[in-house]
């Protein structure tokens, strides 16, 4: 099992807007690509307060790659990305993949 961690930093004063937008994405778009088990976190102590992170549980890299491939064909995902852009710090979006040991 793997955890696919997606992080992005909100612009000052926009963290709740980013959280609301990602929440909407998890309800409306994630199920269409097979991302079903996840949770959202935000920065608190020892990390940037502006960071919003969503961790997705996947069985394999193949499952994650299939989800990513499907995203490109979903018009609602493209529109969501464009609508989110004004509220995030450009260049901060990143994926980290972690292997679950226990």
- Residue 50 sits in a domain whose CATH number is 3.30.70.100
Number of structural domains in the chain: 1
Q: Long-range contacts: 30-39, Cβ < 8 Å, 24+?
A: 30/56, 32/70, 32/74, 33/66, 33/67, 33/68, 33/70, 33/71, 33/74, 34/63, 34/66, 34/67, 34/70, 35/67
Domain span including residue 86: 2-99
* pLDDT one-digit tens code per residue, 33-86: 999 999 999 999 999 999 999 999 999 999 999 999 999 999 999 999 999 999
The whole model's pTM is what? 0.90
* pLDDT one-digit tens code per residue, 77-95: 999 999 999 999 999 999 9
């Amino acid at each position: 099992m793997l955890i696919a961690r997606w992080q992005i930093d909100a612009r000052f004063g926009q963290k709740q807007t980013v959280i609301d937008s990602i929440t909407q994405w998890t309800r409306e778009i994630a199920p269409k690509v097979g991302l079903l088990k996840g949770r959202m976190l935000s920065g608190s102590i020892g990390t940037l307060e502006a960071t919003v992170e969503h961790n997705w549980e996947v069985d394999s890299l193949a499952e994650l790659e299939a989800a990513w491939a499907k995203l490109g064909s979903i018009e609602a995902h493209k529109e969501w990305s464009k609508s989110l852009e004004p509220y995030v710090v450009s260049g901060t979006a990143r994926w980290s993949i972690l292997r679950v040991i226990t």
